[in-house]
Structure 1
């Protein structure tokens, strides 16, 4: 009798566990669909005819196929290629240098034997709360660093983010065992050797996480191009899309310009909604392939070190 009751309880536990897993799978499928379907909608609308979209709204499948939006986006395809090159260079170089600086700043702050540790930690925390404002920021880069129209003006402002330093410092202090560092020191290992050969290989999760954050920041940035870049050869692809869309919206909203184009024999067949979606597709670019590379480290890098064991 007792054995029968034990089996029924075990079966009940198994069934409830299986039901719980099924519900979790359904939940994750719904969440995945909520993330993927908007992207599918953007791609579908970008290949749709503008008049059909205005008349019938957005559809997950183009009612009338059209490449008019992409024709406008790639009207100056050489500029698109050049801007893609700028964005790729800024993203790759900026992410690598940023990881180097953040890790070099965060590691000493994680060491309890660092002299004036509290002072340096206060400096990095203070910049999270206060800053000099846009005008001094602009004057420093233009008048003192002379970076106007330089590609480095798109890299330097985002190199050292205080929040990333705090994340990495927390990871170092809670995940890297102090006993390991002490044993390395006893074996004659210097600080540089310990950092490069012991600490960094154990810190791949947080490095990948901060690397992903930096990659997204650099790729999606358009404001720095707006501030510091006048020459078209150095603008990022995001700012190029932003500028093109603003130009078309200006033409469509300005009757004098529209009349001038019409009288000159030009065409005002300029899409608006589908053009926005086409620019979003072009703007996503290769950055969408960064997620599979970082994904296996991403969650672990965010949670590992959050609770000290």
Structure 2
């Protein structure tokens, strides 16, 4: 029975992995050869031309940098403020604790709507700014609940001992609670980083300046338009190379761009894997 489960899970994993692997293979294959069909598991005509053209586009490199800065700063700020909120909500002595929790949970199922949100962002002067990519999603109620559950499970003796020694609430939070919360904070950091990295909608709605577009928003624009006029359009060397080399196709460039946007966030998982399992188990516990 156990062997059957392993086989089924392996097949399921391979089924999910194949589309990504096929896109990776196509990104390393000549576009003209890919157009003939039959490129599946290995490149039939290996080339790096697709990546050469893509990396010549200044907008892509700028969007890549914007996305990295957004992910790093957004994740740090989000985890910090979410943990602060979770710490307060984990206290049973907090006045109106349950009404606050109900209020927070309502926002998980109902939003103010796209138009009111846009008007709010505009009134705050955040349109076409870097901060509009961070602030709207800086607090996640779901992440707060997971962290709060972990904080609630901590022994009360830890905080009581610290209070006897004269530590303040902030001292307890930063010197005791945070250091012992590594697994859950690492897990929430992973969730938040993936969310910021993959978010294209915020950039599509609130950003009109090319130099502030996240890479996912740029990728969506590229895939929804004539890629030959998008990729390399800001670089004369790339344009000349494309005009002379007719082996480049829309599909091959799209796959190369997709890999550049996808692989970095995938590479972070192995470093956080040991915390990921612990954090998910913590989040499954009820208070």
Instruction: Name the TM-score, length of structure 1 as normaliser.
Output: 0.79
Tell me the residue number matched to 2:233. none
Aligned to 1:259: none
Q: Aligned residue pairs: how many?
A: 274
Alignment of 1:156-235 (within 5 A): 156-174=135-153, 176-235=154-213
What aligned pairs does 1:245-264 form with structure 2 within 5 A after superposition? 245-248=223-226
Deviation at 1:31, TM superposition (A): 5.7
1:65 corresponds to which residue?
Answer: 46
Q: 1:273 to 1:235 in 2, by over 3 A?
A: same
Deviation at 1:85, TM superposition (A): 1.2
Instruction: Report how far residue 68 of structure 1 moved.
Output: 4.9
Question: CA 1:153–1:66 in structure 2 vs 1: closer, same or farther (change >3 Å)?
Answer: same
In the superposition, relative to structure 1, how do residues 285 and 308 fare at CA in structure 2: closer, same or farther (>3 Å)?
Answer: closer
Q: Which stretch of the first structure deviates more once superposed, 119-128 or 51-60? A: 51-60
Match of 1:79 among 59, 63, 67: 59
Q: Which consecutive unaligned segments of at least 5 residues does structure 1 have?
A: 1-18, 252-264
* DSSP-derived class of the 2:92 partner: coil
CA deviations over 1:61-111 (Å, ceiling 9, x no partner): 1222344533542342x2222111111110000000001110010111111
Provide Cα deviations, 1:250-275, integer angstroms capped at 9, x if missing partner.
98xxxxxxxxxxxxx99987623323
Match of 2:26 in 1: 45
Residues 240 and 37 of structure 1, relative CA distance in 2, 3 Å threshold: same
8 Å contact from structure 2 (residues 146, 282) kept in 1: no
SS in 1 for 2:225: helix
Q: Alpha carbons of 1:157 and 1:308: their partners in 2 closer, same or farther (altered >3 Å)?
A: closer
TM-score of the superposed pair, with normalisation by structure 2: 0.85
Q: Following the alignment from structure 1 to structure 2, what is the Cα–Cα distance between the partners of residues 294 and 216?
A: 12
Aligned alpha-carbon RMSD (Å): 2.7
Larger radius of gyration: 1
Q: Which residue number in structure 2 is paired with residue 255 of structure 1?
A: none
Q: Distance in 2 between matches of 1:140 and 1:164?
A: 24
- 8 Å CA contact 2:31–2:249 kept in 1: the answer is yes
Q: Secondary structure at the match of 1:148?
A: coil
Aligned 1:66-145 pairs, distance under 5 A? 66-76=47-57, 78-142=58-122, 144-145=123-124
